[in-house]
Amino acid sequence: MGSLVQFVCFTTVLPQDEFLVAWEPFASGFLSRGIERIVLSENVERSTEAAYDYISRNVWNESRFERAFPHGVRGSGGLGPIGVLQAGGFRLSESVNVDLTAGQRGDAKVMALLMTRNGQRELARNAVRSALQNPGVSGSAIFLKDGDARTDRFDMVVEVYCRDGATDGVVDALRAATASHVTAAPVIVGAYQEVAEMGVEVKRA
């Protein structure tokens, strides 16, 4: 048994301070059920473009994930003015200069959530690897849907840490590289900044 990485997407009209007040009890509840580390990222544009306002990366011990979600995670829901969508359970496929056990980073960040065409996931992963050769990339991680998928909303998540001024170029490179291998929708690519974290040693009161 190893680690599973759960990505949860949020949409909201709330400003950041009000969203965090609502999010922290929600996140703390899952922390008590066995999450090892939560890092929350905010869409820096907060626009209506196809990107979620916030995405959390939740690292679970696999056995605790199974106990928390014995029948799978729900696809979507809500917390008042906050919409919640479960992207699914994933495993880390490969990474460069990314530590899932560490806290939030100050780097600019690009996140891509992809659903690949039938039989083309490996082609898409190779295309992502090519895009990650961009000189603006300082760290990256590719996550693939767990074989016992709890949802088929996405089957690949890519996190890319970027040097100053490089996010637009990385977004464009990822979109161009994967276009022929992914379904028309959903494909979510956006620029993010990590804004909050939770773990056993940093649990909020």
Query: What confidence tens digit (pLDDT) does each residue in 106-164 have?
Result: 999 999 999 998 889 999 999 999 999 999 999 999 999 976 544 557 889 999 999 99
How far apart are alpha carbons 39 and 105 in whole angstroms?
Answer: 9
How far apart are alpha carbons 198 and 56 in whole angstroms?
Answer: 10
Architecture of domain 3-202: 2-Layer Sandwich (3.30)
Could you report the per-residue pLDDT of 67-104, keeping only the tens digit for each? 777 666 666 677 778 999 888 889 999 999 999 988 89
186, 52 Cβ separation under 8 angstroms: no
How far apart are alpha carbons 182 and 105 in whole angstroms?
Answer: 29
**Residue carrying the six token digits 């922290």:** 24
Name the phi and psi angles at 140, rounded to 5. -155, 155
How far apart are alpha carbons 79 and 82 in whole angstroms?
Answer: 5
How far apart are alpha carbons 38 and 131 in whole angstroms?
Answer: 27
How far apart are alpha carbons 138 and 129 in whole angstroms?
Answer: 13
Name the phi and psi angles at 35, rounded to 5. -65, 135
